[in-house]
Structure 1
Amino acid sequence: MVEPLDVGVLSLQVAIAGTLLEGVRRRDPAAVVNAAVSLGAAFLPLALGVGLSLEFGEVGPVLSLWIGVAGFLHCLGMLGLYESVPWWDHVTHTVSAALVAALVYAGVLVGARQSPHVPPGPLTVGGATVLSTLAIGVFWELVELVARDVGESLDVEPVLVHYGWRDTALDLGFDAVGALAVVLLDVRSFVPLAEAFPGATTALLAWTTGIVVVGSALMALVALLGG
C-alpha cells in the first residue's frame, strides 16, 4: 500500500526536477545549480538509508517531505519568485529554519540526556535550539555574501544572491520565527532518529557547531577584506 507521505515526497522530487529542467531551458546557471542541490538533498535520506543501511523508520518520509518542501520553495524563488513576490523569501526562510530547528531540537534533547553537565530543561533546550538555528542562519547569509563577491570577481553569475543587509536582517528574523515555532510547539518529529544514533547525533552537533563558528569567522574576514 502506497502511503500518502510517500506520494507527497515523490511529487516534490518530481516538482524539483521540473524546476531543474526549467532552469536548463532558461539557461540560468544559478537556478540549475540550486535545483540540482535541492534535488540531491531531497534524495539524501533515501541515499543514506540504502548506502549506510540506516533504518529511518517512519521518520524518513517526514524528513524527505520537509526537505522537499523547503527545496521546492527555494527553487521556485530562484526562478523569479524571490524578485516578483516580496514575501516569498520570508516563507522559504521560515520553512527552512523550522527544518533546521527541528533537527537541532531533536539533537539537543537527546544530547542533554546523555550529558550530566547539561540540564535537560525546556529553557536550556529551547534556547540552544534557537541560538543554534540563528547561528546557522548567519552562516548561510555569509555564504550568500561570499558567493556574490566571488561571482563578481570572476565576472560570472553567482549561484546564490545576497540582497543587502536589510534583507539579511529580515531573513534572520524569519529564521527566528521558524525556530521559535518548533520550540513552542515542541516538534519532536526527529527525536526517534536522534535516539537511535545518540553517539552520532552528539558528534554531529559538535562538528556542525565548530564548522558554523569557524566558517562564519573566516567568511566574515573574507568579506571584510574584500570590502
Structure 2
Amino acid sequence: MNNVAIALLTALLGAIAFVLALAVRRRNVAAAVNAVVSLGIAGVAVAAAAGFEFGQRGFVAPELAFWTAVAGLIHSIGMLGPYDSIWWWDHLTHTLSAALLTALVYAGLLVTVGSSVSITVVAVAAVSYTVVAGVCWEFGELVARAVGEHYDVDPVLVYYGWQDTAYDLVFDVVGAALVVALDVRVFVDLAATAPGTTRQLLVWSSATIVAGSVLMALALFARPDGQS
C-alpha cells in the first residue's frame, strides 16, 4: 500500500479509538465493548494489508481493510447514540456490513464453484449466506438482551424489537443484492490466492452460522419465562 492509503487507514483506526475513549469516559460499557471489537477486527485487517506479504500481494486486500474499518467506525459511533437518534443509521450500518460480507462470500464462491455453476446460482448462494448470517446476528441481539436481563447489566448488543429486526434483515438483503447486481469482484484475487483455504472457510463458516442460529433459537425459546 502507498503512504496515502496507510495514512487513511491509520486515521480510521484512530477514529475508532477516539470513539472507544468517549465510550469509556461516558461509562458506556456496551459502546466500549463494541468499539474494542471493531478496533480489533479493523486493526488486524489493516495490519495484514500494510505489513504482511503473500507472494507479490498483500496478505489482505487493502479494500478489505478500508471496508472493515469504515463499517467498524460507523457501528461504533452508532452505539454512542445515533442508533437511537438517527433513523437511518442502523439501516446504513446493516447495508454496509452486509455488502462487505456478501462481497467476500461472492468472491469465494466464484473462485471455488464459479466454473461449475451459473453466475445466478453463485449470486443466490451469496445472498442466502448473508441472510442467514443476518438472522444469526439478530438471534445474537436477543441472547445479549437475555444475558443483560439475567445479570442486570446493559447488553453489549441492543435489541429494538421485531419491527427493527425485520428492517435489519431487509437492509441486509439490500446490501447483498447491490453486490451481486453490480457484480462486485474486488475480493476475487484475494480468494484465489488460496482456493483450498477459501473453500474451507466457506464451509466451516456456513456450518458455524447455521449451528449458532439453531442453538441460540433453542436457548431463547426454551427460556423458563417463555419470552423470546
Provide TM-score, normalisation by structure 1: 0.92
Q: 1:3–1:187: structure 2 CA closer, same or farther, 3 Å change rule?
A: farther
Deviation at 1:196, TM superposition (A): 0.3
After TM superposition, list the pairs within 5 Å mapping 1:120-131 onto structure 2: 121-131=118-128
In the alignment, is the contact (CA less than 8 A) between 2:114 and 2:122 conserved in 1? no
Structure 2: distance between partners of 1:53 and 1:148: 42
**Greater shift after overlay, 82-91 or 105-114?**
105-114
Percent of aligned positions that are identical: 51
Q: 1:15–1:49: structure 2 CA closer, same or farther, 3 Å change rule?
A: closer
* Paired AA for residue 94 in structure 2: H
Deviation at 1:197, TM superposition (A): 0.9
Deviation at 1:143, TM superposition (A): 0.6
User: Is 1:20 matched with 2:20?
Assistant: yes
Deviation at 1:46, TM superposition (A): 4.2
What is the aligned partner in structure 2 of residue 217 from structure 1? 214
Q: Structure 2 stretches of 5 or more lacking a match?
A: none
Aligned pair count? Answer: 223
Structure 2: distance between partners of 1:208 and 1:23: 31
Deviation at 1:58, TM superposition (A): 8.7
In the alignment, is the contact (CA less than 8 A) between 1:146 and 1:219 conserved in 2? yes
What is the aligned partner in structure 2 of residue 105 from structure 1? 106
What is the aligned partner in structure 2 of residue 164 from structure 1? 161
Q: 1:51–1:219: structure 2 CA closer, same or farther, 3 Å change rule?
A: farther
In the alignment, which of 191, 202, 222 is matched to residue 194 of structure 1? 191
Provide TM-score, normalisation by structure 2: 0.92
Tell me the SS of whatever aligns to 1:79: coil
Deviation at 1:28, TM superposition (A): 0.6
User: Is 1:206 matched with 2:207?
Assistant: no
Structure 2: distance between partners of 1:194 and 1:95: 20
What is the aligned partner in structure 2 of residue 79 from structure 1? 80
Structure 1: distance between partners of 2:77 and 2:70: 11
User: Is 1:57 matched with 2:58?
Assistant: yes
Aligned-pair RMSD on alpha carbons? 2.0
Structure 1: distance between partners of 2:7 and 2:67: 13
